[in-house]
Structures are given as structure tokens and as C-alpha cells.
Amino acid sequence: METRDARNSGGREKKGAMSIKVHEKDGIMVFDLAGEIRLSDNFTPALHRQVSEQLNEGKVNILLNFAKVDFIDSYGIGDIVASYLAVKEKKGRLKLACLSPKIWLIFHYSGLTRILEIFDSEEKALQSFS
């Protein structure tokens, strides 16, 4: 008899999947992230793919709003670093806003708070692009 828990066939839990809503505000592409930024079944770096789509349209200033992000794993960190490097290559700017204390610590311990611009609020982050 096979026993199963709350994991999918890949052995990873199926909860809090990441969602991304993109909108433009004052010429800045704002990505409202929600859920968990983690390795998923499709192995597609969803955030980096969507950032690349914006870059291909000439929209090089990107704000990632983490207000509704519950969790990030090393794969998610890699997705953000890949997005940052793609934006930098196009001479744009990628900034982060509204990280929870737990998420901020992950960025801090990984050394990314020295590289990425991180703001307490979306408003402050948007103002920093001027």
C-alpha cells in the first residue's frame, strides 16, 4: 500500500504557489508577488521569465513588491538574482519593497542586502526611481 502526504509527485509541498500581478505605475513596472517563491513542478523560473518579457518590451525599471510573499527558498533567491542581472544588463534598475522581517533576513544572510536596493514601502521604492 502506497502512503502519500501533502506533497506532489516531485516530493515538494503543494501550498502557497507564487502568483505575480504586473502593473505599471509612473513608468515603473510593479510586480506584486504573493505566496511562496520556490522551486515548483514546472521548473520554470516564472519571475525571471516575466521580468525578461518586460525587458524585451523596453521596460527596464522593475519593482518587486514582496508584501504578500510568505516564503522564499534558494531557488527563489536565484530567480531574483537572475532577474537583477538581466535588468542590470539592460541598464535598468530592479528594486524590492515590503519584505517581511523573515524574508529580509534571508536576503541579509545571503549578502544580497548589499547589492539589491530594498525599501520598507512601495511608495518609497517608487520615489527612489526619480
Q: Give the pLDDT of residue 38.
A: 86
Predicted pLDDT of residue 70: 93
Residues 6+ apart with CB under 8 A from 114: none
Q: What is the pLDDT of residue 41?
A: 60
DSSP letter assigned to residue 94:
E
* CA separation for the pair 127, 95 (Å, rounded): 11
pLDDT along the chain (130 residues), means of 10: 34 65 96 89 74 97 97 93 97 98 96 97 97
Residue 42 is predicted with a pLDDT of 57
Q: What is the pLDDT of residue 9?
A: 35
**pLDDT at residue 45 in the model:** 60
Residue 2: left (phi > 0), alpha (psi -120 to 50), or beta?
Answer: beta
pTM of the model: 0.85
Domains and CATH numbers, the chain: 20-128 (3.30.750.24)
Which triple of cell numbers denotes residue 31? 510586480
Residue 129 neighbours by CB distance under 10 Å: 16
Q: Which pLDDT value is given to residue 39?
A: 81
The pLDDT value recorded for residue 15 is: 55
Q: How far apart are CA 49 and CA 22, in angstroms?
A: 13
